[in-house]
Amino acid sequence: MTLEILLVLIIIGLAMILFLTEKFSIDTVSIMVMISFMVTGILSFEEGVAGFSNPATITVGAMFVISAAVFKTGSLNSINILFLRMSRKNEFMFLLTLMVVSGTLSAFINDTAIVALMMPTVLKISKDTNISPSKLLMPLSFGALMGGVCTLLGTSTNILVSGIAESNGVKPFGIFEMSGMGIIFLLVGITYMMTIGRWLVPSRQPARELSETFDLGDYITEIFVTQKFEDIGKSIRSAKFFNDYNVEAVQIIRDNGDKINAYKYTSIRLNDTIRITCDKETLTQIRNVPGIELKIDLKLKDEDFKFQGHKLYEMVVPPNSNLINNTVKSVNFRATFPGLTVLAIRHRNDILYKKLKHTKISAGDVLLVRGDEEVVGQVKGGENLLIISEDTTPRINWKKIVQTLFIVISVITIAGLNILPITIAAIVGVVLLVILKSITTDEAYRAIDWKVLFMLAGILSMGTALEKTGASTLLAKVLVDQLGNYGPRIILSVVFALTFMITNFMSNNATAALLAPIALSISSALEVSDRPFLMAVTFGASLSFMTPMGYQTNTMIYTPGNYKFIDYLKVGTPLNIIYWIIATLCIPMFFPF
C-alpha cells in the first residue's frame, strides 16, 4: 500500500465519519474532501474541480429545473384530485394507486419533488378519512424510491454512477437501460407493501396538530406602552424587554389607531398597544415590568392570528434545507422569511416552545409558523420549507401544461433515441422552458438544489482519487481474493448488500461515489462486464428502506407520519432482504457478465 493510497483511505474514512455524525452538511463535507485531495497533491486543481463540469452534475441541475416547471404549471394537480376521490371509496385501492402513481412519476421527475407534491394531499386525506398518516406516508415514500430506479432520470444517484462510468471511459447509461430490472423492483416492492408491508406499517395515532397543542399553554395579550417604559424609541430587536423575556411581538396598534405587523426593526412608540404571545409563566413575570400595562389575557387560538391575513401554518423541513443544523436565531429566521414567525417546533416526538431561538433545526422537523398569506405563498415551492397544513398545489394553466409536458417528453425521447446526449437534451429543454415562460429565470435558479450540485461535484473527486491512486484496484483485489472462487454472482451479491447497508446510514450519493470506482475495478479484475456491478451499486444506493436517514423522502415523512426509528427497521429490513435476493438472481439476467 502506497502513501497516496493510505492518504486517500484516511480522507474517505474521515469523510464517512462526518457523513454519519452529520456534524457538517453533506455538501460541506464533500467540498472538504475535494479540497483535501488537492491540498495533499493527490489530485491536481483541474482534477479536483472537474466534478463541476461533469455531465452528471449538469444533468442533475437541469432536471431540477424541469421538475420545477412541471410542478409550477400544475401538470400534476389532477393526480391529487384523483387521490381525494379514491380515498373516500376504497382504502386498499387508494394505497395501491398511491404507490403506482408515486413510483411512475418518480421514474421521470425528482422523487423528493413527488413526495413534496403529494404529502399535503395525503395528510389531508388522512384527516378527512381517519386513516392514520403512518399508514399512508411510508407507502408514498417507498413507492417514490422504487420508481426512481426505473429510468436514468429517476434519481441523481443514477445520473451520478453513469457520470462516473463515463469519466472512466465506460459507456454511460441509457435512459431506459435500467428499466427492465427497475420495473421488477417496483412491482415486487408494491406487492410487498400491499401485503406483508401493509401489516407491518404501524397504525399509530396521528400527532396532534401543533396549532392545537400550542393552544394549550400559550397566551396572547396586549400591553400598553406608558412614559416609564425604558425601550421607547428602540426597535423590537434591540428592546431589552423582548430580549429578556420569552415574548414574541405580533402586532402594534399605534396611538392613532393604525395597525401594523411587528417586525424586528419596527420601533416602539409611546402609547403603542403591542400584541404579544407568551406562556403563562412569562405572563405572570411581565405584569410587574415598569412602563407597561396589561390590557387583556386571552388563550391563544388560531383565529387570533387571522387579522391582517395572518394564519398558522405547519411546515416540514426537507433534507436539503438551509435551516438544518442552524437555530432560529442563527439563521435570522424573520429576516430570511419576512413576515413569518416560528411559534413551536416538533422535533421527532418532542414539542418545543421555549428557547426556540437556540434550538437546532433538523431535517424532518415540523415548524408551527405564523405568517401573512402573501409571504407564505412565496415560500411555496422553495427548498427550505414545505407547507403541509394545507393544499398547496399551484393553479392549473392548461397552455403552460401542454407546452411543458411536450418539452419534457421531447427531452426524454431525444435522449432515449440517442439523438442527443441526455445532458445536452436537458439543457435545451431548460432553455425552451424559460423562453416559453413555463418557468422564469429566477425560478429556475431557485429550483436548483445547489447543495446537491456542490455535493456531487465534491464527491466525484473521491472516485477520481480512488481510481488515480489505485486505491479502488487495491480494495477490489482484496474482495476478489476473498470471494473470487465463488464466482462473479456472489461478488455482485456482496456489492449490492454492501451498498444498501452503507446507504442506510450515509448519503446514497456518497455511497455510490465511493463504491462505483471499486465496482469498475472488480469487473476489471474478474475480466467480466462492468455493467452488472455498476447496476448493483446504482440500485443498492437508491433502494434503502431500513432507516429514516437512508433516503431524503424517508426523512421528510418521519415527523409528519409520527414514525419511530424501529418502524423503518420492521418494514424496511424484510424488503431490503427480498431485494438483495432478487438483485443477486436477476441483475445478471438483464446485464450478463
DSSP for 455-523, please give it: HHHHHHHHHHHHHHHTHHHHHHHHHHHHHGGG-HHHHHHHHHHHHHHHHTTS-HHHHHHHHHHHHHHHH
pLDDT for 529: 92
C-alpha–C-alpha distance, residues 383 and 376, integer Å:
13
DSSP for 17-53 reads HHHHHTSS-HHHHHHHHHHHHHHTTSS-HHHHGGGGG
For residue 202, the tally of other CB atoms under 10 A from its CB is 17
The per-residue pLDDT for 45 is 92
Model pLDDT, residue 361:
83
Residue 83 grid coordinates: 387521490
- In the numeric block, which cell numbers belong to residue 171? 459507456
Q: Which residues contact 132 (CB under 8 A, 6 or more apart)?
A: 126, 202, 203, 204, 205, 206
Instruction: Count each helix (H run) and each strand (E run) in the chain, helices first.
Output: 26, 10
Give the torsion through C-alpha atoms of 144, 114, 56, 544, to 10 deg. Answer: -30
Query: What value does the CA radius of gyration of the chain take, rounded to a whole number of Å?
Result: 26
Phi/psi at 209 (nearest 5 deg)?
Answer: -60, 140
Give the pLDDT of residue 562.
Answer: 82
DSSP 8-state assignment for residue 155 = -
Give the strand pairing for 218-225 and 292-299: antiparallel
Q: pTM value?
A: 0.77
Please name the residues in contact with 243: beta carbons below 8 A apart, sequence gap of 6 or more: none
Residue 544 has phi, psi (to 5 degrees) of -120, 120
How high is the pLDDT of residue 75?
A: 66
Task: Give the residue from 2, 59, 1, 12 showing the smallest Cα distance to 465.
Answer: 12
Query: All 3 cell numbers of residue 191?
Result: 406487492
Residues 531/178, Cβ–Cβ less than 8 Å: no
Residuewise pLDDT in 10s, the chain (593 residues): 688 888 988 998 898 888 877 777 788 888 999 999 999 999 999 989 988 988 888 988 998 888 888 877 776 666 766 676 666 667 788 889 889 989 998 888 878 878 877 888 788 788 777 788 889 999 999 999 999 999 998 888 999 999 888 888 888 898 899 999 999 999 999 999 999 999 999 887 765 555 555 544 455 678 888 988 888 988 888 888 888 887 878 788 888 888 887 877 889 999 898 888 776 667 777 877 888 887 654 444 444 444 445 677 788 888 777 788 888 777 777 677 776 777 777 776 566 655 666 778 887 788 877 776 666 766 665 667 887 765 444 556 677 788 888 998 899 889 888 888 889 999 999 999 999 888 888 888 888 888 888 888 888 888 889 888 888 888 888 888 888 778 899 999 999 999 999 888 877 888 888 899 999 999 998 889 999 999 999 999 989 898 887 778 888 888 888 888 899 999 999 999 999 999 999 999 999 98
SS3 call for 350: strand
Query: DSSP 3-state assignment of 298?
Result: strand
DSSP summary character for residue 358: G
Which candidate, 60, 66, 83, places its Cα nearest to that of 152? 60
Instruction: Say which residues have a Cβ less than 8 Å from residue 17's Cβ, sequence separation at least 6.
Output: none
